[in-house]
């Protein structure tokens, strides 16, 4: 039994897709979330900058003495996972491996679509993982740089004509390639799942990378005997690097509970 919290981070709201699943499958665990809202989006940045930001994000979360750190960000998982693992003596989980496993299992026709940020697509990390897990799988990848801004601005609901138009343009080549499985390779994208799913049609399975990662973390903690055996609901705290207000509002809608009292702004550059 280990009552230490699980640390989770992302550039902004996207990592809440992992938090929601972690809280659902391990309600007794304490979670500490950091959203780097002062520096979002991460997806268009160079590897050097991303590694620097990610080091600070992990250093902040480590002040809570976490038993594990979840990189609930496709961009950081695909560019900085190895560096973070080498430097930190705490288990660090990324989203690429569990998502690639899920896609490899789900696809029937061997054609997998992948959408993510520019940095994620440039890294080729999902393609490498899929080639190892299911040789011969065909991946059609598309960077979707505008989607994170739409999500951070709350523009992700069906009927939002701007969101629908942009999604349909981005997904056109993936649809044309006949993909039967689509990896939502950025943790922000499941917030616009309804729009993406309507565009792809009913026969296509969507892989939520945050959700897959959360399930993998649970499995690992179970295996390693690191679960919190304490009864009752765990505490969830949220930290952001820009003002807490906008984050609280959208996070409360997405998580289905009012988190306003648990959100605090910090200076991430101090870590
Ligand atoms: N949610 C993140 C990801 O999964 C980062 C998006 C961004 O900040 O550009 O890639």
Residue 231 has pLDDT above 90, yes or no: no
From the CA of 120, give the closest atom in ligand 1: 10
Residue 84 has pLDDT above 90, yes or no: yes
Q: Which residues line ligand 1 (CB under 6 A)?
A: 10-12, 14, 40-43, 73-75, 117, 120, 148, 186-188
Tell me how far the alpha carbon of residue 222 lies from the centroid of ligand 1, in angstroms: 28
Residue 199 designated active-site: no
Residue 144 designated active-site: no
Scored b (16 or more CB within 10 A) or e, 85-104 reads beeeebbbbbbbbbbbbbbb
pLDDT tens digits, 107-147: 999 999 999 999 999 999 999 999 999 999 999 999 999 99
Atom 2 of ligand 1 has which residue's CA nearest to it?
Answer: 73
Q: For residue 29, what pLDDT is reported?
A: 97
């Amino acid at each position: 039994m280990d009552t230490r919290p699980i640390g989770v981070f992302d550039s902004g709201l996207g990592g809440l897709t992992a938090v929601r699943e972690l809280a659902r499958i391990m309600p007794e665990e304490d979670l500490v979330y950091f959203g780097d809202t002062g520096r979002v989006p991460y997806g268009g940045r160079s590897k050097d900058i991303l590694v620097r930001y990610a080091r600070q994000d992990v250093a902040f979360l480590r002040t809570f003495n976490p038993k594990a750190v979840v990189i609930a960000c496709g961009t950081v998982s695909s560019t900085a996972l190895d560096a973070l693992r080498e430097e930190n003596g705490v288990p660090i989980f990324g989203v690429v491996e569990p998502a690639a496993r899920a896609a490899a299992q789900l696809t029937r026709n061997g054609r997998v679509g992948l959408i993510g940020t520019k940095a994620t697509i440039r890294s080729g990390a999902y393609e490498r993982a899929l080639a190892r897990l299911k040789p011969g799988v065909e991946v059609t990848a598309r960077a979707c740089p505008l989607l994170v801004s739409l999500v951070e601005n709350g523009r992700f609901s069906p009927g939002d004509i701007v969101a629908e138009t942009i999604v349909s343009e981005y997904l056109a080549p993936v649809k044309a390639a006949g993909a039967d499985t689509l990896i939502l390779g950025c943790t922000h994208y499941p917030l616009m799942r309804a729009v993406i799913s309507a565009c792809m049609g009913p026969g296509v399975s969507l892989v939520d990378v945050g959700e897959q990662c959360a399930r993998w973390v649970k499995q690992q903690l179970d295996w390693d005997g690191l679960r919190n055996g304490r009864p009752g609901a765990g505490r969830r705290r949220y930290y952001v690097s820009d003002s807490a207000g906008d984050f609280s509002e959208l996070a409360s809608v997405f998580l289905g509970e009012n988190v306003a009292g648990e959100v605090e702004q910090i200076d991430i550059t101090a870590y």
